[in-house]
Structure 1
Amino acid sequence: MLTSTGASSRQNMAQTAMAHATATAAGPGHSLTDDLPGLQAVAAFIASEQAHVWLLSLVGSVAVGLSGILPLLVIPIEAGAALKTEAGCQKLKQLLSFAIGGLLGDVFLHLLPEAWALAGSSGSKHKHYKTQGWWVIVGLLAFLVLEKMFPDRDSHEDPTPDSDLNSNTPAQPNSVFGEKAVVSLRNGNHAESWKSSKQQSLQERSGKIKTSGYLNLLANCIDNFTHGLAVAGSFLVSKKVGCLTTFAILLHEIPHEVGDFAILLRAGFDRWSAARMQLFTALVGVLGACFALCTQSPKGTENATAWILPFTSGGFLYIALVNVMPDLLQETSLRHTLVQILLIGCGVGVMALLSAIVD
């Protein structure tokens, strides 16, 4: 009897110990969940539809922004050095011609029609059309003021390459080649000194960035912000609308970014610096998407886009017609002029074709 009683007592103690150990092991896990309700909220958010909208919107805006580095596949690696030669200058003017056509097509066939469509959905259409017209003028004047505030101080010192090369008289001391070229010419080393002085002047000018390059980056930042608004606002409506909107923006952006790349090269950026700047402007598109997602209202994004689109249009018009077009007006060759006009038409035609496909 004593033996059986002791065995039963030991069995009960063992069962009690096992139950206590099980409760101890399970206790911290249960209390951890109770003490950290934030983990449950994060898990619920990740599994929610809202998280999917955030993810798709950010991925779409990043994809649109990364289209800015696609010109690296089009423009060769040696473009930085080749664009400083006479043949390279002609190629750059051809790219700039396409850029002018792309900017004009983007403004009149994409940005302004989209702004007019937003105004057409409201009550008083005439008032909103006039307001958007004012925003275009404000964009033009804003970019004019910015360029006046930060002028290119040495732009008046740039010589005309043809006149310098065809001249048989020694360079003046105040020319871009400097006094060293005059001294070497007097010593009889005409060819070598002239070539070295010209290379030195090209290196000095290539190291200076024109204001037009920064204005183009500013316009791209504003444009990418509107793209982020459009992508996120469309995903707030539905996934299908968001995917279609992202695809439409990508179609418009690819030829537009090639033109922007040419404008940055003209302003003095090298190939890789231009790509880095394009990536920087892509981050502004992500900010636009985050702004739209935080407002959680497609109507709010439409109200912001209604004035940002015409303002951006004014900036693009200023860059195309004031900054870039004067370079083409200096062309004297009839053949090169016809090629440039043809490329301007190609830029407009590409934008028109993409607008027809998207619509």
Structure 2
Amino acid sequence: MSLLILIIIFTAVGGVLSVMAAAVFLLLPDHRRAAVLPHGISFAIGALLAVAFWGLIPEAFAQIKPEQFQALSGTILAGVLGFFVLEKLLIWRHCHSGDCEAHGDEDEHEHDRGHSHSHGMAKSAGALIILGDGIHNFVDGVLIAAAFLTDVHLGIVTSLAVAAHEIPQEVGDFAILLHSGYSKSKALFYNMLASLTTVLGGVLAYFGLEDLHDSLPYFLALAASSFIYIAVADLIPSLHKKTDMKTSLQQIALIAMGVLLICSLHGIAHNMEV
């Protein structure tokens, strides 16, 4: 079997398998899923921040020379600010199409505008998580292809490690998309679509790894900035709606669990790749 076919098969396994495993979350009854969803948001915050700070950013800096550190840091900063602007545009587009600035009774208008604004923010968070996940999965595909081009056995192990590493993050992505108002079918469709960028990254890396290698750290930096922005700007503020001690402790514990699980899986994956 040709190396290209192996890369296509195992990048598909690395991307799609993790989505299908995480999709079990969608099989829960509506009332059970509604009860689990807030906990999933807390877990997702920890997972997203851990992927960014424990995995993507260190990996990006490890692949560049010291004189490029400032440029890479600037890319992360530009990414965070860029996603802020993108979210503003998405919210503005939603409000414009929904006439959230229409004239009318002031109190009623303020209520409708607030509702439309909140809904627009939720929708934009969903759009950003799909975009960020697509970039992240593309980079995974490049890494899997690079491993296969080094050694077939290493490629197989790396693709399985990527799948295992992605499952908890994909569960968090489903939670975010459902929280953003996506239906179960749309959440599955968009997550599956984002997972296919793993195959795209693998195929492009096979044909031009030399050219992609120089830009790979900057893809990693953009993926990290999207995850940081989503966690800090969109998800953490939603946790402040409930401030009682029991809920706050649960949120902190679940965020810590998301961080610890991602860090543990990242360590396992690194040991397997070595």
Query: 1:207 offset after TM fit, Å?
Result: 11
Q: Which of 216, 222, 228 is residue 129 of structure 2 equivalent to?
A: 216
Kindly indicate whether the alpha-carbon contact (under 8 Å) linking 1:217 and 1:281 is maintained by their aligned counterparts in 2: yes
Which of the residues 20, 25, 32 maps onto 1:74?
25
1:106 and 1:252 in contact (8 A); partners too: no
Identify the residue that residue 77 of structure 2 maps to in structure 1: 137
TM value normalised by structure 1 = 0.65
- The offset of 1:65, in angstroms, is 1.8
- Report the residue type matching 1:100 in the other structure: I
Greater helix share, structure number: 2
Aligned to 1:316: 227
Which whole-Å deviations, capped at 9, do the CAs of 1:302-328 have from their partners, x for residues lacking one? 323111001110111000110111100
Moved over 6 A (4+): 205-209
Give the number of the structure whose alpha-carbon radius of gyration is greater.
Answer: 1
One of 2, 6, 11 as aligned partner of 1:61: 11
Deviations 1:127-168 (A, max 9, x none): 1222221111121111111111111537x99xxxxxxxxxxx
Q: Distance in 2 between matches of 1:339 and 1:292?
A: 42
Secondary structure of the corresponding residue to residue 210 of structure 1:
helix
Q: CA deviation at 1:354?
A: 1.1
1:330 paired with 2:234, answer no
CA distance in 2, matches of 1:241, 1:146: 38
**1:173, distance to aligned residue in structure 2 (A):** 5.7
Q: 1:278 corresponds to which letter in structure 2?
A: N
Give 1:175 deviation, angstroms: 8.2
Instruction: Give the conservation status (yes or no) of the 8 Å contact 2:90–2:120.
Output: no
- For the aligned residues, what is the CA RMSD? 2.6
User: Pairwise mapping of residues 91-170 of structure 1 onto structure 2 (< 5 A)?
Assistant: 91-119=36-64, 125-151=65-91, 152-153=94-95
Larger RCO of the pair (alpha carbons < 8 Å, separation 6+):
2
Q: Which runs of 5+ in 1 are unaligned?
A: 1-50, 120-124, 158-171, 178-200
Equivalent in the alignment of 2:149: 236
8 Å Cα contact 1:233/1:301 also seen in 2: no
| Structure 1 residue 176: Cα displacement | 6.5
Task: Give 1:298-309 correspondences, 5 Å limit.
Answer: 299-309=210-220
Aligned residues: 255
Judged with a 3 Å threshold, the aligned counterparts in structure 2 of structure 1 residues 325 and 208 are, in CA distance, closer, same or farther, namely closer
